[in-house]
Structure formats: structure tokens, C-alpha cells
A = this chain, B = another copy of it.
Amino acid sequence: MTQQENTKKYISPDELVYIGKHRNTEVDVHLMDFGPDHFEEFSINNISEARGYLEKKSLTWITFNGLHDVDLVEQLKNNRINSHILSDILDTSLRPTFQEYENAFFISLKMFDYDKEKKTISTDHFSLVIHKNAILSFTEKPTTIFDPLIEIIKKGKKRIVENSMDYLVFRILDIVVDHYILLLRELGDDIDAFEEILLTEQNMEILDQIITYKKLVNRIRRNIKPALETITMLTKYDVEYINDSSSVYFNELLNDLKQSNEIADGYREILSDQLNIYHTTISSKLNSVMMTLTIFSVIFIPLTFIAGIYGTNFENIPELRFKYSYYFMWVFMIIITLFMLNYFRKKKWIKW
């Protein structure tokens, strides 16, 4: 059984099973410990190496760059992390959530990555376990998304290193949430650019493209709403390690998420309109094609009929014998044609 197939069978809520893409790489666990006047960082192979830092009063941030090593995560059980949390960390299909446990807060969000070439979005299951003096963050694969923040920490930027846990949590979440907007802008540019093509060409590929974009936008939308719920709970709950004075920062996060939501809704509507336009354009084109056919047919049908009449082999057709009959026929046909062209002009089917 592959790990992806785990999403198809029942898993106990406290069972530690990795549910996600199969990966072979070794999982790197990285520890950073810092304060106003120190910064220390190293990789660890065993959670026990972190023990000291977790208790210490200075801020500690441990990043797990992969979830597929279940044994590594299981070691956290000894560190008094609830097995329900650990189970949720390992389940990449989990909906964004916030949970308050005895000794920790658990936040889970999705991170997205848009591949402009292939028009696909890849998801990363991001979890955060917040203790009094330590944060544990988990991603499915190594990510560089937090590098700007780590850079600031390394530079010993006052605000983050002096403040308590809550400002650091805000800064981590801000990066995740801001990337929703950045992603939506990139995706939006592609959708906007695509609109140009829409009005000049129609084919099944275009229809397919609209549908693909719709699905991408909807996938993001479906993750923003629970993220909004999650952050709202974080601000509403009287979370112990989060100062009231920092609620202003979490409001910033909420505003970002609402903006993401609105941008996504906007593109959703644009795509829905594009589908409509595509449909209408085809009808429009069909109409123009049919007009051409009709004008042509309606003009020639009676003319061909007349020619047919005089092509009959009746022995007694008086008209055939008059000297100028043939010319009269032409004149008559021209009159009919003009009459009909005039009719179409009046009906505005043709412009003169």
C-alpha cells in the first residue's frame, strides 16, 4: 500500500500514519535558538538533542523539513505532544485547523506553489505547534519561504528577538498568508493575459484552459476560508502566550486573508464570465456563418429553379423559341437578385 492510498481508508485519530506523497529523501530537522544577544542553529538527528532548548527561556524554533519520517515525529510523543496533534501533522489531507491542547497550540494551514509553465498548483501541509518557549514547524518538503524572516532573526532585529512568542508566530504566519496574495496575483496575471486570446479564438483547448483555471482558483478558495477560521480562532481564544496588545498583528493577518478571499472570488467570477463569453461567442459565430449560408442559398435557390425550368425537355415550351428569351431570363434573374439583396439590407443582414 502506498502512502497516498491512506487517504482511502479509516485511520484512528491518534494513530501516527503519514498520509501524503511518497518521498525518499531524509528529513532534515533544524533547530534555531535566539534571544536579544545570541543566535545558535544546528541540525539534529534525534529529538532528544533539542530537549534542553525546549525548556530554556530563550525562543526556540525547530523546523521539520519533511513529514514522511514517521519515527522522527513519533519521538515528539515523549515531549508531551498529544498524539492527536502528531496524527494531524502527518495527515497532509487535513483541512486548516486550530486546536488548543493542555500544553500547546496547534495551527495547520496549506502553503501553495504555482507552476506557471504547467499551470498546476502544488500544496504543502504546514503545521505549527506553539509551546511557551518554543515553536515547532512542519512542512512536507524543504522550503525557502521563511528565509527572509530567518535573515532578520539572524541580524538580531530587535522587535522579533525581544518580543515574546506571539510576535514570532505572527511573522511566520504573515509569510504564509502573504504568499496566498502573491500566488493569486501571479495566477491572476495569467488569467488576465489569457482573456485576450478568448475573444479572437474558440476551440476546445481554450474551454479546457478556462476549466483548469477555475479549478485552481476554487482549490485556493476552499483553503482560504478555513484558514480565515483558523486565524480568527487564534485571535478570539484567550491564548495564554499571546498578549492582548498583539491582537493588532493578528488583525493584519485576517485582513490579508480576507483580501486573498476577495481576489479569488474576483477571478472566480471573471472565469465564470469567460465561460459565458466563450459560449456566447460561439453562438455569435454560428449566427454569422448561418447568415452567410442563408443569404447565398436564398439568392441562388430561385435562380437555379428558373434555370431548371428551362432545362426541362417538354416539347412545347413557348418561351424557349423566342429569340431574346435567354437574355430576358438573365434580366429577370438580376431583378430577383436585387430584390432579395434589398430585402436583406432592410433586415440588416447585410450592410451596404
Contact = CB atoms under 8 A, between A and B. Distances in A.
A226 B265 CA distance: 14
Interface string A7-41: 11111111000000000000000000000000000
Nearest to A10: B178
A275 B280 contact: yes
A286 to B, nearest CB: 5
Contact of A320 (B204, B251, B278, B315): B315
A207 B311 contact: no
A236 to B, nearest CB: 13
Given A275-B276, A301-B300, A323-B316, A269 B218 contact: yes
A284 B204 contact: yes
Given A9-B182, A309-B307, A248 B99 contact: yes
Copies in the complex: 5
Interface in A276-295: 276-287, 289-294
Given A12-B152, A305-B307, A7 B185 contact: yes
B297 A301 contact: yes
Interface string A42-80: 000000000000000000000000000000000000000
A321 interface: yes
A226 B179 CA distance: 21
Interface residues of A, number: 102
Contacts of A175: 10
A292 B281 contact: no
A326 interface: yes
Contacts of A84: 248-249, 252
* Residue of A152, A281, A303, A312 most packed against chain B (CB within 10 A): A312
A75 to B, nearest CB: 20
Contacts of A162: none
* Residue of A9, A248, A304, A314 most packed against chain B (CB within 10 A): A314
A302 interface: yes
A302 B305 contact: no
Interface in A135-152: 148, 152
B208 A148 contact: no
Contacts of A309: 307
Interface string A218-247: 110010011000000000000000000000
Interface string A304-335: 11011111111111011101111001000000
A215 interface: yes
* Residue of A94, A159, A292, A303 most packed against chain B (CB within 10 A): A292
Nearest to A313: B320
A298 interface: yes
A68 to B, nearest CB: 20
A52 B200 CA distance: 62
A289 B289 contact: no
A336 interface: no
Contact of A294 (B94, B218, B292, B303): B292
Given A95-B255, A97-B255, A315-B325, 9 more contacts: A8-B182, A218-B266, A286-B290, A292-B298, A310-B312, A310-B313, A312-B320, A312-B329, A314-B319
11 contacts: A10-B182, A225-B262, A280-B282, A282-B287, A293-B297, A293-B298, A296-B301, A296-B302, A297-B297, A314-B325, A316-B323
